[in-house]
């Protein structure tokens, strides 16, 4: 099985530098442009056995724009694909987080991805969710040649890729998931372990087409 991960295009929350989590921001105008660019790229990467998307607007809209570019089959919502829940941090920008929750900005890198102290998902919650997702995909898609497209979010996609690529799974792995980055993971049995290899990791800026305007996400890369 092969899994193509596509992060959503720039959202209004990205453009404002806000921690999104489950907060439901739509795509910005640039995000729709990025999604169209990604869709044109993905048409040449099919056929896909299935397309699954997070139900959150920024991902669902991205999947819809990709489908309009000719990527098939039509996207199906999967309730395990939303972004990591960030609890009370959701909707805040960096200045607001520093004012209300200053400790969050000073946490060690190994503590990122865990929002349980703020009423969001814990690291263990996220790992359980991605294992549940993978078990369901493996049960549905038993053909080794099936290529799936998952349209979702930087934080959750990062955790999913890390879990599939590494054994044991590290808490930290630097893999930038920019808006509309496409990552192809090929799962195979490696010395008795079912693991993935990263075939490619393509940011939207390297997909064919004229130069895109700079994203407003900028330094707010942690605020998914």
**Nearest alpha carbon to residue 133 among 179, 77, 87, 68:** 77
- Rg over alpha carbons for the chain, rounded to the nearest Å, is 17
In degrees, to the nearest 5, what angle opens at C-alpha 145 toward C-alphas 144 and 147?
Answer: 110
Q: How many residues does the chain have?
A: 224
The pair of three-digit structure tokens given for residue 5, joined into one six-digit string: 């991960």
The pair of three-digit structure tokens given for residue 160, joined into one six-digit string: 């999913």
Asked if 83 is an active-site residue, the reply is: yes
The SS3 of residue 193 is strand
Catalytically annotated residue among 8, 33, 61, 217: 8
Catalytically annotated residue among 10, 33, 61, 83: 83
Just list the catalytic residues.
8, 83
């Amino acid at each position: 099985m092969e899994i193509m991960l596509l992060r959503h295009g720039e959202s209004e929350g990205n453009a404002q530098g806000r921690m999104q989590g489950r907060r439901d921001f739509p795509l910005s105008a640039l995000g729709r442009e990025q999604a169209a660019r990604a869709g044109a790229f993905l048409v040449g990467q099919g056929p896909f056995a299935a397309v699954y998307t997070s139900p959150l607007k920024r991902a669902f809209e991205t999947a819809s724009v990709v489908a309009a570019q000719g990527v098939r089959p039509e996207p199906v919502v999967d309730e395990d694909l939303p972004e990591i829940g960030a609890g009370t941090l959701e909707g805040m920008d960096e200045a607001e987080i520093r004012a209300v929750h200053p400790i969050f900005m000073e946490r060690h890198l190994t503590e990122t991805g865990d929002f349980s102290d703020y009423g969001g998902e814990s690291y263990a919650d996220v790992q359980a969710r991605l294992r549940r997702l993978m078990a369901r995909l493996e049960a549905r898609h038993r053909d080794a040649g099936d290529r799936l497209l998952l349209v979702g979010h930087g934080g959750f996609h990062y955790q999913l890729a890390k879990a599939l690529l590494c054994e044991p799974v590290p808490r930290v792995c630097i893999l930038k998931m920019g808006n509309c980055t496409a990552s192809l993971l090929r799962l195979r049995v490696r010395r008795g372990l079912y693991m993935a290899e990263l075939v490619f990791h393509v940011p939207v800026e390297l997909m064919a087409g004229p130069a895109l305007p700079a994203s407003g996400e900028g330094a707010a890369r942690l605020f998914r």
